[in-house]
Amino acid sequence: MSVKTIDQQHRATFEGIRHVDENGSEFWLARPLAKVLDYSEYRHFLPVVERAREACRNSGHLVSDHFEDILEMVEIGSGARRELPDVRLSRYACYLIVQNADPNKPVIANGQTYFAIQTRRQELADDANFAQLSEDEKRLAIRQELANHNKHLAAAAQDAGVETSLDFAIFQDHGYKGLYGGLGNREIHARKGLKKSQKILDHMGSTELAANLFRATQTEEKLRREQVRGKSLANQTHFEVGRKVRQTIADLGGTMPEDLPKPDTSIQQLESAKKKLEKR
């Protein structure tokens, strides 16, 4: 089956069972989704939903935002109706369910391809919009995304055994050393001419911020995927991911992050200027 056919098939089936509530929010129900995904009995589908909930939790998302246990009136034959337990799902929840379902089922394998297509389409749309932003707007956007991902990274590191503030500072330093060719927090501060109280990430251009965003997201995923346990192993994982990101930059002929210029304005100054414009 071609990618185009898969896309058309799953757009018809998956989007065909989509609901929209009175607030305009889209949602899906687990029972109809189970049928679309070729599960003969709903009880066989429930373990998949639970694995998806766990994946949602591990990714740092609030499970209740994507999975809501409800009672739904369903027909049970001869026109009779009865309340049965169901789960209201977001689009992201449906994606996680498909990723955690049985890949031996052709409909599941095709569904995973469908979601990959949709994700790539969104990435391309985001890339097109992002390309139109100014350098300052790109910096603000990436810095905000990095702040969010650092929370997820901190949670993954804590699960691995990085518990105290000092532990996390050392963990972060390992990531910087991998990405910056051995330079840690202190050395990067000195290289950028920053005060101790100033945050490195607030004095980076969009290219340098993007490299650090990639470091953070890939480290979080690796910590969780490989179920890394222990501070030393977590630190080494962060260092190795940083080093691989650095190697990728080198392979592409890019400028090493420590050699990128420091912007004239900080993120705080950009945010302040943005707020003043919004008040006008």
Residues 116, 148 within the same domain: no
Residue 212 lies in a domain: yes
Query: Does one domain contain both 176 and 244?
Result: yes
Instruction: Please check whether residues 85 and 43 belong to one and the same domain.
Output: yes
pLDDT string in tens for the chain (280-residue length): 444 444 455 555 787 888 988 888 889 999 999 998 889 899 999 999 999 999 888 878 899 999 999 998 777 666 777 888 999 999 889 888 988 888 788 878 777 767 766 666 666 677 778 788 899 999 998 998 899 889 989 999 999 999 999 999 999 999 999 999 999 999 999 999 998 889 999 999 999 999 999 999 889 988 988 899 999 999 999 999 999 999 989 988 889 999 999 999 999 999 998 888 877 6
* Residue 26, pLDDT score: 87
29 and 148 co-located in one domain: no
Q: Is residue 10 part of a domain?
A: yes
Tell me the two tokens of residue 115.
């979601």
Please tell me the predicted confidence (pLDDT) of residue 4: 46
**138 and 108, same structural domain?**
no
AA letter at 168: F
Q: Are residues 146 and 267 in the same domain?
A: yes
- 178 in a structural domain: yes
Q: For residue 36, what are the CA distances in angstroms to 1, 85, 123, 157, 218?
A: 18, 18, 26, 37, 33
Q: How many domains does the chain have?
A: 2
Same-domain pairing of 141 and 105: no
What token pair was written down for 179? 């990405």
If 0-12 CB within 10 Å is exposed, 13-18 middle and 19+ buried, where does residue 118 land?
middle
- What is the residue type of 234? A
pLDDT at 70: 94
Q: Which of 123, 155, 187 is where one domain is finished?
A: 123
Q: Helix 106-131 crosses helix 3-16 at what angle (to 10 degrees)?
A: 90
Residues 48 and 111 in one domain: yes
How high is the pLDDT of residue 101? Answer: 85
Residues 186 and 260 in one domain: yes
- Type of residue at 112: Q
Residue that finishes a domain, picked among 87, 104, 123: 123
Rounded-to-integer distance, Cα 18 and Cα 147, Å: 33
Cα distance between residue 208 and residue 87, in whole Å: 42
pLDDT at 244: 92
E strand or H helix at 83: strand 80-89
Domain that holds residue 90: 3-123
pTM of this prediction? 0.60
